[in-house]
Protein backbone atom coordinates (compact mmCIF):
# COMPACT_ATOMS: atom_id res chain seq x y z
CA UNK A 1 0.00 0.00 0.00
CA UNK A 2 1.30 3.43 -0.92
CA UNK A 3 0.93 6.18 1.64
CA UNK A 4 1.09 9.86 0.91
CA UNK A 5 1.79 12.75 3.18
CA UNK A 6 -1.40 14.28 4.65
CA UNK A 7 -2.46 17.39 2.81
CA UNK A 8 -0.96 16.41 -0.53
CA UNK A 9 -3.11 16.19 -3.63
CA UNK A 10 -2.79 13.69 -6.44
CA UNK A 11 -2.69 15.28 -9.91
CA UNK A 12 -6.28 14.21 -10.66
CA UNK A 13 -7.48 15.70 -7.36
CA UNK A 14 -5.70 18.96 -8.15
CA UNK A 15 -7.40 19.11 -11.56
CA UNK A 16 -10.83 18.23 -10.11
CA UNK A 17 -10.55 21.09 -7.61
CA UNK A 18 -9.50 23.52 -10.35
CA UNK A 19 -12.52 22.59 -12.48
CA UNK A 20 -14.86 22.65 -9.49
CA UNK A 21 -13.72 26.11 -8.41
CA UNK A 22 -14.08 27.39 -11.97
CA UNK A 23 -17.65 26.01 -12.13
CA UNK A 24 -18.58 27.41 -8.73
CA UNK A 25 -22.06 26.84 -7.31
CA UNK A 26 -23.26 25.23 -10.55
CA UNK A 27 -21.23 22.19 -9.54
CA UNK A 28 -20.09 19.31 -11.66
CA UNK A 29 -21.06 15.72 -12.33
CA UNK A 30 -18.96 12.77 -13.41
CA UNK A 31 -19.31 12.72 -17.19
CA UNK A 32 -19.06 16.50 -17.66
CA UNK A 33 -16.06 16.55 -15.34
CA UNK A 34 -14.36 13.74 -17.28
CA UNK A 35 -14.97 15.59 -20.55
CA UNK A 36 -13.56 18.85 -19.20
CA UNK A 37 -10.52 17.12 -17.71
CA UNK A 38 -9.83 15.52 -21.10
CA UNK A 39 -10.27 18.83 -22.90
CA UNK A 40 -8.07 20.86 -20.56
CA UNK A 41 -5.31 18.24 -20.44
CA UNK A 42 -4.93 18.20 -24.21
CA UNK A 43 -5.55 14.44 -24.12
CA UNK A 44 -8.99 13.84 -25.62
CA UNK A 45 -9.34 10.46 -23.88
CA UNK A 46 -11.75 10.54 -20.96
CA UNK A 47 -10.44 9.78 -17.49
CA UNK A 48 -11.16 6.15 -16.62
CA UNK A 49 -14.51 5.73 -14.87
CA UNK A 50 -13.04 3.91 -11.86
CA UNK A 51 -10.23 6.41 -11.42
CA UNK A 52 -12.50 9.46 -11.52
CA UNK A 53 -15.26 8.18 -9.24
CA UNK A 54 -12.79 6.79 -6.70
CA UNK A 55 -11.08 10.22 -6.59
CA UNK A 56 -14.43 12.01 -6.20
CA UNK A 57 -15.48 9.73 -3.34
CA UNK A 58 -12.10 10.01 -1.63
CA UNK A 59 -12.27 13.81 -1.88
CA UNK A 60 -15.86 13.84 -0.58
CA UNK A 61 -14.87 11.72 2.43
CA UNK A 62 -11.91 14.06 3.07
CA UNK A 63 -14.25 17.08 3.09
CA UNK A 64 -12.83 18.64 -0.08
CA UNK A 65 -16.09 18.16 -2.00
CA UNK A 66 -19.77 18.07 -1.14
CA UNK A 67 -22.07 15.76 -3.08
CA UNK A 68 -25.82 15.61 -3.56
CA UNK A 69 -28.21 13.98 -5.99
CA UNK A 70 -29.96 16.34 -8.36
CA UNK A 71 -33.73 16.68 -8.19
CA UNK A 72 -35.46 13.64 -9.70
CA UNK A 73 -37.93 15.85 -11.59
CA UNK A 74 -35.10 17.70 -13.36
CA UNK A 75 -33.61 14.41 -14.54
CA UNK A 76 -37.01 13.03 -15.58
CA UNK A 77 -37.77 16.15 -17.63
CA UNK A 78 -34.42 15.74 -19.40
CA UNK A 79 -35.12 12.03 -19.96
CA UNK A 80 -32.01 10.78 -18.18
CA UNK A 81 -30.95 9.30 -14.83
CA UNK A 82 -30.26 11.59 -11.89
CA UNK A 83 -26.75 13.01 -11.62
CA UNK A 84 -24.65 13.16 -8.49
CA UNK A 85 -23.50 16.77 -8.31
CA UNK A 86 -20.24 17.81 -6.65
CA UNK A 87 -19.15 21.23 -5.39
CA UNK A 88 -15.85 22.29 -3.87
CA UNK A 89 -15.92 23.09 -0.15
CA UNK A 90 -13.93 25.78 1.64
CA UNK A 91 -11.54 23.00 2.71
CA UNK A 92 -11.11 22.07 -0.95
CA UNK A 93 -10.21 25.65 -1.85
CA UNK A 94 -7.72 25.76 1.02
CA UNK A 95 -6.17 22.43 -0.03
CA UNK A 96 -5.71 23.63 -3.60
CA UNK A 97 -4.13 26.90 -2.47
CA UNK A 98 -1.78 25.01 -0.16
CA UNK A 99 -0.82 22.63 -2.99
CA UNK A 100 -0.06 25.56 -5.29
CA UNK A 101 2.02 27.53 -2.80
CA UNK A 102 5.78 26.96 -2.83
CA UNK A 103 7.10 24.57 -0.21
CA UNK A 104 8.94 26.29 2.65
CA UNK A 105 12.67 25.88 2.62
CA UNK A 106 14.31 24.30 5.63
CA UNK A 107 17.71 25.53 6.64
CA UNK A 108 20.28 22.82 7.11
CA UNK A 109 22.19 22.26 10.32
CA UNK A 110 25.23 24.48 10.45
CA UNK A 111 23.93 26.75 7.72
CA UNK A 112 24.72 30.37 8.38
CA UNK A 113 21.82 32.78 8.92
CA UNK A 114 21.94 36.49 8.34
Give residues with Cβ within 8 angstroms of 65, minimum separation 6. Answer: 16, 20, 56, 59, 86, 87, 88, 89, 92
Identify the structural domains of the chain with CATH numbers, from first to last: 11-100 (1.10.10.10)
pLDDT score of 46: 72
Note the residue count of the chain: 114
How far CA 56 is from CA of 35, 64, 104, 107, 110, in Å, comes to 15, 9, 29, 37, 45
Looking from the CA of 79 toward its CB, the CA atoms found within 13 Å total: 0
Cα gap 108→21, rounded to integer Å = 38
Q: How confident is the model at residue 40 (pLDDT cuts 50, 70, 90)?
A: confident
Q: Is pLDDT of 42 > 80?
A: no
pLDDT in tens, 7-38: 789 989 999 999 999 999 888 999 999 988 88
Amino acid sequence: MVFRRPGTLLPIEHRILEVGIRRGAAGMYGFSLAAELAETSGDKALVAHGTLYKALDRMRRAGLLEAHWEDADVAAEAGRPRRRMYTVTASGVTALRAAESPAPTIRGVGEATM
